Amino acid sequence: MTFEYLKALHIIFVVTWFAGLFYIVRLFIYQTEAMERPEAEQKILKPQLDMMASRLWYIITWPSAVLTLIFGTLVLSQRMGYLEMGFMHAKLAFVFLLYCYHGWCHKLFKELQAGRTRWTSTQLRIWNEASTLLLFAIVFLIVLKSTLSMVWGLAGLITLGVTLMLAIRLYKKFRN
């Protein structure tokens, strides 16, 4: 029974972590676009967006990332045999990349809180899709439990990535 509770908590915190990752980059886009506005608008928008980003990042996203790691480790400790399977190595590699993504988002968060931006809103929209690709890879690997299926999964990820990039370009044209 303990395993099911640990797994349920792990899944819940994965969901809240991804919710935070998806929304924080959206806030980065808004913060970047707000810095391009006239100064009077910036004075209104920037403090509000900074506060929203800070609360999301420190109250939801970071705690969820930590709790995901804790409960994921506990779940894996209950199923040590999974560590001998190729799909788990691949899944853990993608999870590692997700934590790298989280770290890079933290760097972006700190820069934007300081009023600095190096990325355009279009670049941030593309960056936002990296977490989507990682989500697909992780979920398919853990559900299918097969690296052989990863060949088809990789083809699907590439197709998804191309589709997302085309959608971003189409959205940019529509927006302008």
Confirm or deny that 7 is annotated as ligand binding: no
Alpha helices in the chain (DSSP H): 2-34, 39-55, 62-78, 86-113, 121-144, 149-175
DSSP state of 59: I
Torsion of the alpha carbons at 111, 115, 120 and 123, rounded to the nearest 10: 30
Q: Go through the chain and tell me how many residues it has.
A: 176
Query: What is the C-alpha to C-alpha distance for residues 39 and 34, in angstroms, rounded to an integer?
Result: 9
Confirm or deny that 10 is annotated as ligand binding: yes
Alpha carbons within 13 A on the beta-carbon side of 59: 6
Amino acid letter for position 167:
A
Q: What is the DSSP string of 60-106?
A: IIHHHHHHHHHHHHHHHHHTGGGGGSHHHHHHHHHHHHHHHHHHHHH
Annotated binding residues for heme, as ranges? 10, 91
**Residue ranges at the known binding site:** 10, 91
